[in-house]
Every structure is written in C-alpha cells, then in structure tokens.
Chain A
Amino acid sequence: MPKTGLWHAYRLRWKRRRFLFRIWRKRKELSLSTDRTAQISPDAILAFSTVRNEIVRLPHFLAYYRKLGINHFLFVDNGSDDGTAAFLAEQPDVSLWTTTHSYRLSRFGMDWLGWLQWQYGNKHWCLTVDADELLTYPECENRDLRALTSWLDERGEASFGALLLELYPKGPLQSATYVPGDDPTKTLGWFDPDNYRNQVHPYYHNLWIQGGVRERVFFANEPARAPTLNKTPLVRWSWRYVYVSSTHQILPTRLHDVFDLEGDSKVSGALLHTKFLPIVGAKSAEELTRGQHFQNTALYQDYHRRLTENPDLWHEGSCRYEGPAQLVELGLMSKGRWV
C-alpha cells in the first residue's frame, strides 16, 4: 500500500530539505569552466546534463536538442579524457562546469546538476537528460518544446513524464557502426514494444515502470533489480525542487502527477536511450574497474561483464523504430488532451 498521510508528507518534506542541503554542501566540487549563463533569457528552456567521455554522442545530442528548442545547455563534465570538455567549451550556447569527484557519491550527478538547477533553473522549464537520452513526444516534428511547455503552463502542469525506451541494433552490439553526428536511431533501429510493467511506487508515488530489453536479457531472474524506466525529465523548475534518484523520482511528489488513475491519459513522451551504440562494450569495461554506476555496484558487475561480451539483443518480436506517431499508436506514449 502506498504510504500517505500528513506524517509521510512531513517526512518527505524533510527529505527534500536534506537533499537541498546536500546539494549546497557539494557545490564546491564543481569548478566553472565556461560561463555563458548571461545568455539565459527569462523564458529560456534549459537543458542540464552530466557527461563523461561522450564525444561520440554529443554532436548529434546538441543538434537534436537545439532543433527541439533548447535555448541553453548547462553541462557538468566528470573527468572526460576524450576531448568532451574542449568540444563543449567551443559551443556558443553551452555553459560548462568540470569536476573529477565521484559520480556515485554525487548521487549519479544529481547533486551537481541540483546546484546548477538551484542557481539557474528557477522558473525555467528544465530538461534533465543524459547524453544518451533523446526526448521525443507526440508530433515533436511539428511542435517544439516551447509549444509543449506553453501548453503545459496553460493547464497548470509543472512536469512532463517520459518512458525510457531502449534502442538496440539487430545483431551483436559491436558490429553496428556509428559515425559521430549521425542520427543514432538509424544505427539502433529496434526496441521492445510492449513488455513494460507499471506499479505505483509505494514511497514516492511515482509510476514505477520496469521492463524493456535490459530486463528481458540481463535481469530476467532478478526482476526487482531491473532498470527503472519512468522519468520526469522536463520540469518547470523551482529552487525548492530536487531529483531523488536520476530523473526517476523528484520531490515534491506532486510533480509525479504525470499519469492518470481514472482511465484518462495525460500527454507523455519517450526518452530514446542510445546506450547500446557500439561504444557500450568499452564503456562497460571501464565501468567494471571504475564502479561509479548504480547504488550497489557489485550486483551489477555481471551485467557490465555481459555487455563487454558483445551480446545480440534483437529477437523476432522486436519493433523497428519509425517515429513518434508509431510510439503513440503502440501506446508507449500518449497525446492526452494535446490534440
């Protein structure tokens, strides 16, 4: 049974304050590298992201989100050694901070981004995504983020939910080819259309979705540990807000109100997850030694080890990715009232 009541609300409030304090405490881990925040206009839509060695993905990432209507990017570079920082510093609409502190101890970057959001995000629509996540939503070819956010504003909605949809290639992961700047959905053309399990999270009251290809292939025997796929990446920020665990959960919990319990459906999107680009093997090999991902690193060793073994994730029921309209048709995202 979900926890409710005044006492629970009070505890969550203190939890949120503790997170805010933690964010404030960790602020000194960041050092400013390139500051273009003066460009941020009062109605700018901002993107926040922590990156490490993402030179392969970033050219397309930036182009994609610029086209979607992001006005300014705020990046934290966590000790890249492949030129990511230099690449980002050159971009005209990017502000960059760097740190070499522990990603895991920063709640997977959320403390760092939290500090930036606290400073720059207040009253802005803020998109918080990883470099391997591309946001898509119904009609996103015709309607940019400004159209979406003003519509949400008009309805008094302060958050927008999205399903993390994992894309993978046909055949072994390493045999796919990808040139930086290309659309990764061309390389990773496939996804699992319908094996997502939902439940209401008993503590934070978000809709907790698990499933997808990673669960099917790597976590079938430990479903409770399967990756969480619900996200609330787009939020009309207030300095009082904090993300709890990645963008899966946020406080205050009313921002989880992105789904409907009565049979209605709200508007929602999908985050195309391009984790399985050919570089995933090398990244997983590095992760095995670094141990900076997931709460309980030892438990995920096996998962990373298997990723270095070049598996094939494709199966006969896989669906070829065709675009947002297809995802609406399949019921993976919804137009809601945004006709």
Chain B
Amino acid sequence: MSLGVIMLVHTAFDRAEQMVRHWAAAACPVVVHVDSNVPDATYDAFMRSVADLADVRFCARHRCEWGTWGLVAASQEAATVLLEDFPDVQHAFLASGACLPLRSIADLIGYLKAQPDTDFIESATTADVPWTVGGLDRERFTLRFPFAWKKHRRLFDWFVKLQQILGYRRNIPEGIRPHMGSQWWCLTRQTLDAILQDPNRDTYDAYFRKVWIPDESYYQTLTRLHTRKVESRSLTLAKFDYQGKPHIFFDDHAELLQRSKSFVARKIWRDADQLYQMFPLPSDPLGAAEEPNSGAVDRVFSQAVERRTLGRAGLYMQSRYPSIDRQTNVAAAPYAVLQGLSDVFPDFQPWLTRQTGAQVHGHLFAKDRAHFADDSDVYRGGLSDNARLRDYNGKMFLTNLIWNGRDEHHCFQFGPADTQDICWTLAKDTNASIWVVSGAWSIPLFSSGRSASDIRAEAARLQRIEDKFLKVLRSPDARARINIMTLAQFIEAPMDVLQTIIDEIAGHRGNALKEVPKMADLTGLPDFLQDLKNQGMHPFLTGDITVGNTQAPKPISRRKPYVISTK
C-alpha cells in the first residue's frame, strides 16, 4: 500500500465508480472528493455504490468551478485525509473520475517504488515557458480576478485590461517563485505533507486563492520549496488544443493510447466503452519498467493542429472558406497559366504534355466551354465543361480543379478571347505562375488569311483585353510569379523560355528539350502588322516585329548549347 489516490469527481458517477474499483483492486486507498454542486441524492447513491470497498474515503465537499480555488481546496482536503488515514502511503496521485489507468496499476506502483524520492509534477516558470493561451501567464500571479471567466467573460476581460492600464500589481509572497504546469500530479508523502503543514500555508493559501487558475500553479509552485527531487512531467497523459481545452479520447484512439505507454490518460469520453473495457492493460513484466512515451500522441495531435491551421490550403468546403483577401494561396498547388504560347506553337498542348507529363489543359476559360486536358465533358471530381456553370463562380471552378488533381501539376492556356473574370484571382494567387507572350493573339488572326481591314476591330478588342490583363498583372497587389514578354522578345529566343517553363513545371525531372515544337509560319507577319498600323490600329503589345526576327522559325539558342533544336 504505497500509492494513494485522490480522486476529484463531479459527473459520470458510473465511470467514477469503475475507476475507484480499478484503483482499489490494486490495493490503492482512494479518497474521493465530490463537487458540492452535485445533488445529495446522487452523492449518496455514489457513496453507497462503493460502500463495499474498505479503503475508500469521502472527504468534505467544496464547490469546484473551473479556474477557481475550489479545486485546490478539494485536493488539500482529500490529501489531508489520505495522509492521516493511510500512514503507509508513500506517493499520492491526483486523478479525476475521467482519468483512466492505461497500464496495469501494479506497473505504476513498481515504477514509483523505484523512485521513492521523486515528485512527478509538471512545473515551469512563467518567465521561461510561453504555454498559456490567451496571454495571461505572468499576469495570473500579479492581477486580481474577481469575475468568473466562464460566466462574465466581458467583465473579466475588461477588469484585466483596466488593471493593465493602471499598472496594478499584486505582491507575490516572499520566498516563492511562481511555477505552472499540468494540474495532474503525483507527489511523495514527504513533499505533500510539507506543503500542507507549511507554517506559511495561510499566507500562501490567501495569495493563491486570488490567482487565476490556481490548480495549475499552487502545488507546482510550492513543490519547489519542499521537494527533494522534481521530475517536471505529469504521469497523466492529457492533451490540450490551442485554446487550452482538453482533447477527449474516444474509442478510435485506443491504439494511440496503447502506444503512448502512459500510466494514466484523460479525458476519456464517458461512453467510450471499448476504451473502458480494454484498459488498464494486464501487467506486462517485460515492459514494466518502460518509460511513458507520449511522442506518438503528441505527433498525432500536433499534426491535426497543423493540418487545421496550415494544411489544406486551397480547400473550400462546408466548414472552411478562407476569404481570398486574407490569404496568399488561393489554389491548393502550384499551376501554370500560359498566355499566347499556343498561338505561337499550334501543337503546343500535346508537346508540353509529352515534355512534362503534367496535366496540360486547353483554354479552360474559353467562351464556348472549358477545354480540359483530356477534352472530356466531365473532368475529375465531376467538374462540368459547361461555360455557364464555370463562369457562375470561376474562382471555385479553378480551386476545385486544382484541389482535386493536386497530385499533378496543372497548366492551362489563357488568352484575351477567354472569359476574363478570373484575372484577379490568378494574379493574386502565389501558386500561379503566369507566362504571357503579349500580342500573340495576332498570329491566329494573321493565319486566318483575312485582310487587316476585316479583322481590325477584332484585333483592337483583343489588344484592349490583353492590355487590361497586363495592367492587373503589373499591379502591386499581384502576387503570382509573372513573366511577361512581347511576341518580338519571345521569338528572339523561344527555346530559353520554353526550357524555363518546363523546368518549372517538371521540377528536377525536367530534362533538356529533346523535341522542339513547330512554330507557326510567321512569314508575312510584319507586313500584316504594318497593315494594321496603316488602318490606324497599332498593335503595340507585339513589340517590334521585323522581317529579320520572323525569318528563323527554328531559331537556335546560343546561350544553352545543350539544347538540341534540330528536327
């Protein structure tokens, strides 16, 4: 009988009874504290239910409200009874009705016997550890908190603020240095006795009575005064989310709990029958000395937190709808927007697919329909090619497409003949990589064989639209990776640009270009453009196209000699 248990209970009495029996079966005396808010009838029934157990005591009841002194008073009361009634107890373990022993209690007793002088209590100074949520760490000890946080949140916050403005500070009693940590501890008889019998206890109690959440700091601070050896960790596995609320363990956590090798875990969901049946595990002589290892649990929970706060970018769904103005990533994965390239190279799409293995779409935002990579009516995820449906909410069309195919790199063609509503979304998305060969729209017009006077109006319209798009891309709000070049610049050295695009899309897998796409025949383009100018329509976005730079449809790159550009 070396381990005694203090159990705080306020609800789920059937489970609490079960827990009392677990401890009692391992010959641990249990002192139970029941919240005084619990009706007497319930309390009496609970007492009767464990009346057959000899070493179970009930102590005087206090009102236990979260974050208040009552919880400390309750544990003091129970600890006093435990130490007086059970002189053999060497370690006292603070538990609640929702704390479930995971490993055999005999293992825990053995573990504590091996370290008879050690206090297991998580205890860190507030100055060093920024654990707390909501900004109150040091101030827990120096301000006053007359208003209940749960019931009068506003008043609480207001009063804290007032004290901060006035610069009010309470005096911390001499000799103590505030520490904080998990409220679930396991202390030696010697330490616990010293805390309870301390000549200054009245001073300390009076001070901590007005501290915010004293159950996380009272024992944690005072242990430091009396201990022979502190292990600053809790033997109770308890996880908190970033709001400081405890995570609850359900049946599906069984394997995780088992792997944690912790002695006790909380909070266990009261209807998690499977957990209550499975634990505590039978004593395992081989693993009895094994240290608890909550690493796996930590990882799972912190992964979940990370996934929640950082992960799943680009997903828009029922419970996640980040506003476009507050984020830089719109889509889930990087993608490329290519404007004008498919005009210069008529076979650009199949060529790029061969080179990179990416999903190369046609004009996704074409006026007639969305031209998906596989030219289907319904693309992955059930995305329809219907233009009306797409334009009803173009941004969601794009994010759906990328989210659903985020295992692959997506590229799509864009141009001034397409629906332009998506412009700002593209420009603001850091995942977008936008390549524009400006003025390339003149090539299909030129190839159509119609005269400059026929297509003058159309050329002017396309130029106006493209110019507007370029203005968007050049605005200070644009966050995408943007490369803009005129048609004239591009046809000077197209292979360099293509190589860069391919490297970017395919990453390290991008090889030197083996095959060069066939450029449209540009012979006569300068004359055509001059004709347009003569009509009064200056195609300024194309750059200076001369006979000289259109003469070599298969230009050879000089700067990158490894490029093989013969065909």
Interfacial residues, chain A to chain B (CB-CB below 8 A): 139, 141-144, 146-147, 151, 154-155, 161-163, 192-200, 207, 209, 212-213, 215-216, 220-224, 230, 258-270, 315-318, 331-337, 339
Q: What 14 additional pairs, Cβ within 8 angstroms, besides A151-B248, A260-B319?
A: A139-B252, A147-B269, A147-B271, A220-B388, A221-B388, A261-B322, A263-B327, A264-B320, A265-B317, A334-B312, A337-B304, A337-B308, A339-B241, A339-B247
6 A-B contacts (beta carbon < 8 Å): A194-B403, A197-B393, A223-B393, A262-B326, A316-B378, A334-B317
The answer on a CB contact under 8 Å between B319 and A336 is yes
B529 to chain A: closest CB distance in Å? 40
- CA–CA, A216 and B313, complex, Å: 25
- CA–CA, A240 and B241, complex, Å: 32
Chain B, residues 299-329, CB within 8 Å of chain A (1/0): the string is 0110011001100110111111111001100
The answer on a CB contact under 8 Å between B318 and A259 is yes
Partner among B300, B379, B393 whose Cβ is within 8 Å of the Cβ of A339: B300
A78 to chain B: closest CB distance in Å? 29
The answer to whether B250 has its CB under 8 Å from any CB of chain A is yes
Instruction: Output the residue of B271, B305, B318, B386 with the most chain A CB within 10 A.
Output: B318
The answer on a CB contact under 8 Å between B392 and A223 is yes
Residues of B within 8 A of A315 (CB): 378, 382
Partner among A163, A195, A334 whose Cβ is within 8 Å of the Cβ of B381: A195
Residues of A within 8 A of B308 (CB): 264-265, 336-337
Residues of A within 8 A of B389 (CB): 215-216, 220-221, 223
Residues of A within 8 A of B247 (CB): 339
- CA–CA, A155 and B242, complex, Å: 12
Residues of B within 8 A of A139 (CB): 250, 252
- CA–CA, A267 and B250, complex, Å: 16
A267 to chain B: closest CB distance in Å? 7
The answer on a CB contact under 8 Å between A220 and B403 is no
Closest to A335 in B: B304
- CA–CA, A336 and B251, complex, Å: 18
Contact-residue bracket for chain B = 35 or more
Known: A143-B251, A261-B326, A265-B312. A195 touches B382 (CB 8 A): yes
Closest to A164 in B: B318
The answer on a CB contact under 8 Å between B251 and A333 is no
The answer on a CB contact under 8 Å between B384 and A216 is yes
Which 10 residue pairs across A and B have the least CB separation, nearest first?
A: A192-B382, A194-B381, A268-B319, A265-B320, A223-B392, A197-B396, A266-B319, A195-B382, A194-B404, A220-B386
The answer on a CB contact under 8 Å between A193 and B317 is no
The answer to whether B484 has its CB under 8 Å from any CB of chain A is no
Within 8 A of A (CB), among B369-387: 376, 378-384, 386
Known: A213-B382, A315-B378. A333 touches B269 (CB 8 A): no
- CA–CA, A334 and B317, complex, Å: 9
Partner among A192, A220, A259 whose Cβ is within 8 Å of the Cβ of B319: A259
Residues of B within 8 A of A195 (CB): 381-384, 400
- CA–CA, A144 and B393, complex, Å: 36
Instruction: Output the residue of B305, B312, B381 with the most chain A CB within 10 A.
Output: B381
Chain B, residues 480-505, CB within 8 Å of chain A (1/0): the string is 00000000000000000000000000
Closest to B325 in A: A261
The answer on a CB contact under 8 Å between B322 and A262 is yes
Overall SS of chain A's interface: loop
- CA–CA, A334 and B378, complex, Å: 26
Residues of B within 8 A of A142 (CB): 250-252, 274
The answer to whether B245 has its CB under 8 Å from any CB of chain A is yes
The answer to whether B207 has its CB under 8 Å from any CB of chain A is no
- CA–CA, A162 and B320, complex, Å: 12
Interfacial residues, chain B to chain A (CB-CB below 8 A): 241, 243, 245, 247-248, 250-252, 269, 271, 274, 300-301, 304-305, 308-309, 312-313, 315-323, 326-327, 376, 378-384, 386, 388-389, 392-393, 396-397, 400, 403-404
Closest to B332 in A: A331
The answer on a CB contact under 8 Å between A317 and B321 is no
Residues of B within 8 A of A336 (CB): 308, 319
Residues of B within 8 A of A333 (CB): 317-319
The answer on a CB contact under 8 Å between A264 and B309 is yes
Instruction: Output the residue of B247, B248, B308, B309 with the most chain A CB within 10 A.
Output: B308
B397 to chain A: closest CB distance in Å? 7
- CA–CA, A285 and B237, complex, Å: 59
Residues of A within 8 A of B321 (CB): 198, 200, 207, 259-261
Closest to A212 in B: B382
A313 to chain B: closest CB distance in Å? 10
- CA–CA, A336 and B305, complex, Å: 8
Residues of B within 8 A of A224 (CB): 392
The answer on a CB contact under 8 Å between B251 and A263 is no
B320 to chain A: closest CB distance in Å? 4
The answer on a CB contact under 8 Å between A331 and B315 is yes
Partner among A146, A151, A200, A266 whose Cβ is within 8 Å of the Cβ of B320: A266
Residues of B within 8 A of A223 (CB): 388-389, 392-393
The answer on a CB contact under 8 Å between A216 and B378 is yes
Closest to A216 in B: B384
The answer on a CB contact under 8 Å between A332 and B388 is no
Known: A144-B271, A151-B248, A198-B396. A193 touches B320 (CB 8 A): no
Closest to B400 in A: A194
Closest to B392 in A: A223
Known: A263-B327, A265-B312, A266-B319. A317 touches B382 (CB 8 A): yes
- CA–CA, A207 and B393, complex, Å: 14
The answer on a CB contact under 8 Å between A263 and B317 is no
Residues of B within 8 A of A215 (CB): 384, 389
Residues of A within 8 A of B317 (CB): 163, 196, 198, 265, 268, 331-334
Residues of B within 8 A of A161 (CB): 318-319
Instruction: Output the residue of A220, A222, A263, A268 with the most chain B CB within 10 A.
Output: A263
- CA–CA, A210 and B67, complex, Å: 44
Residues of B within 8 A of A199 (CB): 393, 396
- CA–CA, A267 and B248, complex, Å: 15
Residues of A within 8 A of B323 (CB): 261
Residues of B within 8 A of A200 (CB): 321
A311 to chain B: closest CB distance in Å? 14
